[in-house]
Amino acid sequence: MQENRFKYEAIADNIRDAIRLGSLRTGDRLQSIRQTSRELGVSNASVFKAYYHLESEGLIECRPKSGYYVRYHLQDSQPPSCQLLNEDACEVSNQALIQEFLATKLAHPDHLDLSTAVPSTELLPIAGLKKSIQKSYLNDPRAATAYENTTGHSGLKRSICQFGLNWGSVIAENEVVITNGCMEAIALSLSILTEPGDTIALESPVYYGLLQLIQHLKLKIVEIPADPTTGISLDDLEQVIHHQDLKAILVIPNFNNPTGSLVPDENKQRLVAMATEHQIPIIEDDIYGELYFSEPRPKNCKSFDEDGWVIYCSSFSKTLVPGFRVGWCIPGRFHEEFVQRKYVTNISTSSISQAVIAHFLTHGRYDFYLKKLRSALKTQHLQYKRAIFDYFPGKIASSNPQGGFVLWLELPKNKNALKLYQAGVKASIVIAPGQMFFARADYKNYFRISFGKPFDEAVDQALKKLGSLAATL
């Protein structure tokens, strides 16, 4: 079964690449299933499954009594533009907009939400999780009532250590601390590294929740421009390091939210070397690292860290159970301070949530589930992008993420994406206005759309409506 699965994916990838490169063009007829099966030496079922997936992505179509044809010429779009470096440290000034956005979502739960970067419930292994909830309690009733150790559930930490093998790292159980989501891991890290008024470096644009946290901690930031494809500009960061007293560097190197950028491995290695040389801690948010579309899994900064200057933070919120709020941290040389701060903040993370996830990782075929999730997100990414290109006026600039959930989109400079967001709300559609992802509210023509929801008629019509609204701005 695994072999057949590999074969159909390889066939689909080859045809997809041919369409992207223009070797197959819109209207071209594909070989029949039987002919392809004979030439490749695979079963008809493998070829049919490959064609089925390409059809679901909108790349090909089946014409009755005629065969399969290329429907859409997939092209990499022009990526959104990158900002110029401003070396001045600043405070976050977009809090009012973020609060308005969150209040709007809370007030309109019936609206079609294309703004939240989490997997749809339809993609989660609900049946397996229900079984793990039951089994984890039956195995140990204390799991639902007693405090867990401050550093976390032993079995869960052992499973997390195994993830490190995919990065090329060996992690010991006593290096891991379980947290209340990735956000707590980052908050605790910042709290032990900084004091109010300190300055940190942050790639820009960046997830608005991190900007809220930074404002709450009364920190100043220097926004380091991030390329929508390759991520944070290390040349700009190096320039800032020589002119600012930085207490930390906060990055999302794998499938950044909101741009979807992927920092190349050689850049990660250079970033760690820079931080180590200047003894500036890196707080690495790798919450999307497991959601890659193509093998192999991208490395993280932690895999290049030999001296403990990288504080690694991640979570199951984007891959398994958003509502459980279970994350983890590998604090490196800051381990003792981190555990102490964790204890005085909330003693420990929910014991039953940890037990359930530990059971699922051991018995729920987590790797198999993740492979299905990645495949679904890869398909949804292409479906959303095709619809956006079809419905939005002109040639809209779009990111080309290789993993994660989000598309970062740029309207012409004379257009205001905040107005598009407001018009969308009136039409019962919610997107994320781009101004929320910058400390300064200077960039008004960007917005983010999440493709975590399976593509269906409602999503298609919502994107069509947004395209018509964009044409009127």
- Render each residue's pLDDT in the chain as its tens digit; 473 residues: 344 457 888 898 899 888 877 788 777 889 999 998 898 989 999 989 989 888 887 788 888 778 898 876 656 578 999 888 999 998 988 888 899 999 999 999 999 999 998 899 999 999 999 999 999 888 887 777 889 999 999 999 999 999 988 887 889 999 999 999 999 999 999 999 999 999 999 999 999 999 999 999 999 999 999 999 999 999 999 999 999 999 999 999 999 999 999 999 999 999 999 999 999 999 999 999 999 998 889 999 999 999 999 999 999 999 999 999 999 999 999 999 999 999 999 999 999 999 999 999 999 899 999 999 998 998 899 889 989 998 999 889 999 999 999 999 999 999 999 999 999 999 999 999 999 999 987 789 999 999 999 999 999 999 999 999 999 99
Distance separating alpha carbons of residues 289 and 76, to the nearest angstrom = 22
**Which positions ≥6 away from 138 have C-beta within 8 Å?**
none
Distance separating alpha carbons of residues 57 and 74, to the nearest angstrom = 10
Burial class (CB in 10 A: 0-12, 13-18, 19+), 416: middle
pLDDT, position 1: 36
Distance separating alpha carbons of residues 160 and 172, to the nearest angstrom = 10
pTM score of the predicted model: 0.88
Tokens of 216: 């709450």
Distance separating alpha carbons of residues 423 and 417, to the nearest angstrom = 10
The one-letter amino acid at 328 = W
> Contact at 8 Å (CB) between 442 and 416?
no
Per DSSP, the chain holds a count of helices (H) and strands (E) of 15, 16
pLDDT, position 9: 87
Q: 446-450 and 406-410 as β-strands: parallel, antiparallel, unpaired?
A: antiparallel
Beta bridge partners of 61: 69
